[in-house]
Structure 1
Amino acid sequence: MKNTLLFISLALSASVLNAQRNQNIASFDEAETFVPGKYTGKYNEKGEKHGHGKAVLSTGEVYDGEWANDKRNGFGKATMKDGAAYTGEWKDNKRSGQGIYTFLNGDKYVGLFTDNKMNGAGIYYYADGDRYEGLFADGEILGKGLFVFKNGDRYEGEFTNGKKNGIGKYYFASGNVYEGNYENDSRVGLGTMFFPNGDVYKGDFKDGRRTGKGIFTFANGDHYEGDFLNGMMHGSGTFFWKDGDRFEGYFVNNNRETGRMYKKALDQVNVSVASAKN
């Protein structure tokens, strides 16, 4: 007789993606005026700020860098009143091109800007040690990228609105690897989970857990095909042993509840459920 089926439900909890933190960059209002008498630098023949100069805005922001036709154009550094700072390229008073923005909370962005916003390829460093490398659009994480967590986890794949959305691959520090679909940071739909001991699950996920139809293949050659609920075998399914025996029936929380055992050597002799559990 087969021993009671032991199936250890492996925890699939992942670190929460921190891409939804406050990443807003202080916008620059072109209507802001420079404090009279607070500009030191070069002018052109029209009396416009042109060349290198330093100015103080009415907001308390200090800009030290290049000017062209009375606007910040070229390379320069802006230090905000709250302590945040931007160093990089400017175009017509807006952050445009390559730059570095350091936030008051210690976060830092290094990458491309367009119209004062993070746009294009860049790296966002979180103060707590997390890091995102990839694409941005209108100040948000959007497109393909890599998110590295301080605990050693990392995710490579698609993002929308700062969250994992679409196809991606998540590497757990524990050695587990998930490859499949994400919706709003959660494993949803079809996916495959690889475990460091050689076990593999392929099937449905819901709310980040094995729920729905799936196949769990054990490293020793046994496998289960059927229903899963919250990471456990739950519902109708069949468990196949590598020696050819199998159990068909109903499972509850990883335990065989009702069904039949088929012995390969006995030409499908049915064994009672009570015996199958012994």
Structure 2
Amino acid sequence: MAKDKKKDGKKSEKSVRRSIPEQDTVTESSSTKLTDLQTLLNGVEEAQASAAVSDKEPEEGEEPPVQNIPQYYEEPVLTQVIVKRYEGEKVCGLYEGEGVAYFDGGNTYKGMFSEGFMHGQGTYTWADGVKYEGTFVKNVQMFSGRYTWNDGSFYEGSIRNGVRHGFGFFRSSTHPVSYIGYWCKGKRHGKGTIYYDREHTSWYSGDWVNNVKEGWGMRCYRSGNTYEGQWEKNVRHGRGRMRWLTANQEYVGQWVYGMQHGYGTHIWFLKRMPASQYPLRNKYIGDFVNGERHGHGKFIYASGAVYDGEWVCNKKHGKGKFVFKNGNVYEGEFIDDDMVEYPAFQVGAMNPQELNAVCTGSCFGTETIGIVNISENPSALGSDIELDISSLLDLLPREERQEEVKQVEFAVLRHITELRRVYSFYSSLGCDDSCDNTFLMTRLQFWRFLKDCQFHHSDRTLAEMDRILSGDKTPLEEIHSPYETLLFRTFLSRLIHLAFHIYHEEHKDKGPYLHKCFTEMMSRNVIPTACHVQGILFSEQRRTVFAMSYIDKCWEIHRAFCRPSISPPFEPTMKMRQFLWMLNDFKLLSKQLTASRLVEILFKDGPSLQDGSNANLEQELVFLEFIEALLDCALVYVTSDMIK
């Protein structure tokens, strides 16, 4: 007996003692015997998992494990036990009805019998105090019941063949651990939630496979840090979001066995600067290798400066482009965070300890750079906002350019408060709460702004506007990317560009007219309709949250069906006709979602896109129009009978 216990103890963790000793086995000496019950071979609780933490990125680590491994519980075994005494009814010499059986070794059973078997509701108590209360089927614990161990720990829920199987709840009395969810053959398997403390501040909720976190799940740590995403072998693996509330940081992207590895976005939330119009955060979007910025990536400083280029071990290294907060640009080679041509010029260290310096002081030092073309005339909008309208000025007589810039800056300044409100409103659409309540506008949100303000009713589609606003060096595949981010100054510059292209014919013969085009756009488009969200994607919060979880997959599908545009620069786009073909390929056209109904959906927000009585299916769809058309189609295609 003692040897058996030692062997079992080796199977459990070395740091704890076995809580449930094996039951005594007794030689058969009576004509009345109980059939063997199934033996549970698997434990219940394991250690709180802690993901690997990179020594080089200590600020990104999660809290360490807060406790030792809980005890390893097993359902006790009903061996071939001998009935020593029985009190109750018998039929034809077999136990029948309600009775009490006393077994050799001290175990007892009180409950229902049928044809000599424990069958029905009953309570089986082992000599050491472990108890099972629940349903028996021919001596086997089945369906539902409750195990109570001698230290006070218990399990209550579904039982099959004597082990936990189905939905149930376990709570340890010696450690602050509890689990509620699904089990399979004695192991956590399926959806379930485990709590690591009594206060329920440290927990994991999600998928399990054979007692291991595997699949999708959310982990909340005692510190308040959270991770939501994919898991493999108890560590973060796949795509997920980690929020370090204690360090004011967030990462969304790919993980490989607990490390940031692959493509992702890391954000450092910073303390607000007085009168700052920029999002109060530093943001890196790009490649990670073993927890470090490595490969190609873009770093957006809270001050408005931007670096886009190559990284090696958290440092700018290789070819890159640095846009200073006033809009001036350096493009060239970097080595160990420094510009090769100007090694003494520090563009800002990227170590986490030094990031605050980006917002609390100048990262440019006291030196000046010869390659940066500093404007001789300071902007009326301040040093932090320099409008990028040089391509428009090239279209105007040289002697009029300075006055044009001055007048359009004053026009923007008159509406700056309203425009900041609009930027803040649209940049938060479809986003979770942020620590500083500020967001960077994406192109997806910018499209929604343009549609709400009916810019697309000016005989220009959103796709054509993208081409107008894209620079010569913009990669073709990024011209219509919904993930592009727009700083506030970029937002203002793009509005001026669009105002010129829409209204310049009305004002070009009336002297300086950029500001007149801008004012016309504000009075006709922005002021009357901005912040009144149309379309299906952002109109209802629950729908938005659900739809945004499929954005990445929808973008992959959209790109797969895009074809080169017939207009320069011949970037890949999707036409309405291709959208119809896509639904047909997916066999989604039905009695409810007919081709004519689909055309109505595509044209419901763009009456100007029809040629006479026939719909012009050659019109291009940007991704916002694509996903909103998909959502509208889903409302038509999915019937109440399908939901049932």
Alignment of 1:262-277 (within 5 A): 262-264=322-324, 265-270=327-332, 272=339, 274=343, 275-276=345-346
2:134 and 2:156 map into 1 onto residues whose CA distance is 10
Match of 1:4 in 2: none
1:216 and 1:48 map into 2 onto residues whose CA distance is 71
2:224 and 2:315 map into 1 onto residues whose CA distance is 26
Match of 2:298 among 222, 227, 238: 238
CA distances 1:56-99 after superposition (whole Å, capped 9, x unpaired): 23454211222122111222211113332111221211111321
Q: Offset of 1:256 from its aligned partner?
A: 4.4
SS class of match (1:83): coil
Match of 1:179 among 220, 228, 235: 228
Match of 1:34 in 2: 82
1:63 has 2:130 as partner = no
2:317 and 2:70 map into 1 onto residues whose CA distance is 43
2:331 and 2:229 map into 1 onto residues whose CA distance is 40
1:188 and 1:16 map into 2 onto residues whose CA distance is 22
Q: 1:218 to 1:33 in 2, by over 3 A?
A: closer
Match of 2:281 among 217, 221, 228: 221
* Contact 2:63–2:223 under 8 Å retained in 1: no
More helix by share: 2
1:86 and 1:43 map into 2 onto residues whose CA distance is 24
Q: 1:259 to 1:12 in 2, by over 3 A?
A: farther
2:162 and 2:68 map into 1 onto residues whose CA distance is 22
Match of 1:163 in 2: 212
1:133 and 1:164 map into 2 onto residues whose CA distance is 14
Match of 1:107 in 2: 153
* Contact 1:256–1:277 under 8 Å retained in 2: no
State the identity %: 25
Match of 2:190 among 137, 140, 143: 143
* Contact 1:190–1:204 under 8 Å retained in 2: yes
1:18 and 1:134 map into 2 onto residues whose CA distance is 23
Match of 1:130 in 2: 177
2:183 and 2:66 map into 1 onto residues whose CA distance is 20
SS class of match (2:281): coil
Give 1 or 2 for the bigger CA radius of gyration. Answer: 2
Which runs of at least 4 in structure 1 moved beyond 6 Å after TM superposition? 16-20
CA distances 1:24-53 after superposition (whole Å, capped 9, x unpaired): 212334xx24334x1122222x12111222
Q: 1:58 to 1:259 in 2, by over 3 A?
A: farther
SS class of match (1:24): coil
Q: Offset of 1:55 from its aligned partner?
A: 1.2
- Amino acid corresponding to residue 246 of structure 1 in structure 2: Y
1:234 and 1:102 map into 2 onto residues whose CA distance is 53
TM-score w.r.t. length of structure 1:
0.83
1:218 and 1:186 map into 2 onto residues whose CA distance is 23
Q: Offset of 1:123 from its aligned partner?
A: 0.4
Match of 2:311 in 1: 250
* Contact 2:298–2:306 under 8 Å retained in 1: no
Q: Offset of 1:13 from its aligned partner?
A: 4.4
1:78 and 1:18 map into 2 onto residues whose CA distance is 32
1:109 and 1:33 map into 2 onto residues whose CA distance is 24
TM-score w.r.t. length of structure 2:
0.38
- Amino acid corresponding to residue 262 of structure 2 in structure 1: G
Match of 1:209 in 2: 259
SS class of match (2:127): coil
Q: 1:114 to 1:164 in 2, by over 3 A?
A: same
SS class of match (1:174): coil
- Amino acid corresponding to residue 221 of structure 1 in structure 2: R
* Contact 1:155–1:171 under 8 Å retained in 2: yes
Report the number of matched residues.
Answer: 267
Q: Offset of 1:225 from its aligned partner?
A: 2.3
1:75 has 2:121 as partner = yes
1:35 and 1:147 map into 2 onto residues whose CA distance is 39
Match of 2:133 among 87, 102, 106: 87
More strand by share: 1
1:96 has 2:146 as partner = no
Q: Offset of 1:245 from its aligned partner?
A: 2.4
| Structure number with higher relative contact order (C-alpha < 8 Å, ≥ 6 residues apart) | 1
- Amino acid corresponding to residue 35 of structure 1 in structure 2: V
